[in-house]
Chain A
């Protein structure tokens, strides 16, 4: 069974600085999808970024980018120019190529952006 590990339960960063959240996963599959989700305090979970494992290029969405290292099974999220609105729980998730659309989630990292 696939597992997703987020080793940093909590992190903090100063506004305008850059922060990297770590995620590792375990799978025997070659093709799969990886995601980062953001859950602001008392608000809805939203998709931040998506990576297809067969694509070498790292995904980027504005200030959010990933460092996808397939051999190391690592999928970190970099947030540049951090903003107060980035304060949230961040969840890393894995979806296999075959089977159902089930996502396996990590336990989350609570990020606080300080003014």
Chain B
């Protein structure tokens, strides 16, 4: 069964900590994405990557960075966690453009609480 795996389901961190959220996919997808999901705001794109070592900013990149050293792994980094980064974080992957658009496969999400 193909899947996108996020390393933690729930995470509690302190203000100012550096936080790593990990995402691994086993579908050999070129594209990977990080969204945050907040009630009433839907899904907002933080960063995405269409190839190893490539990254592009989404709509709300401030306070975040990403790393993609291997095709299957896409990490989201909160450089200095703040309480307004308390949210649900969703990772997703998708096949390369040119093969049609079949949407995303999502991970189960990481609910991050910053205290």
The total of Cβ contacts below 8 Å across the A-B interface reads 58
Tell me if B109 and A44 are in contact (CB < 8 A): yes
Interface of B: prevailing SS: loop
Q: How large is the interface on B (under 10, 10 to 19, 20 to 34, 35 or more residues)?
A: 20 to 34
A91 CB, nearest partner CB in chain B, Å = 7
Interface of A: prevailing SS: loop
**Chain B residues at the A interface, C-beta cutoff of 8 Å:** 31, 33, 35, 40-43, 45, 48, 50, 56, 58, 90, 94-97, 100-109
Known: A44-B109, A93-B103. A105 touches B42 (CB 8 A): yes
Q: Which of A35, A45, A50, A100 lies in contact with B90, CB distance below 8 A? A: A45
Q: Which of B41, B97, B108 lies in contact with A44, CB distance below 8 A? A: B108
Tell me if A33 and B31 are in contact (CB < 8 A): no
Known: A91-B43, A107-B42. A101 touches B106 (CB 8 A): no
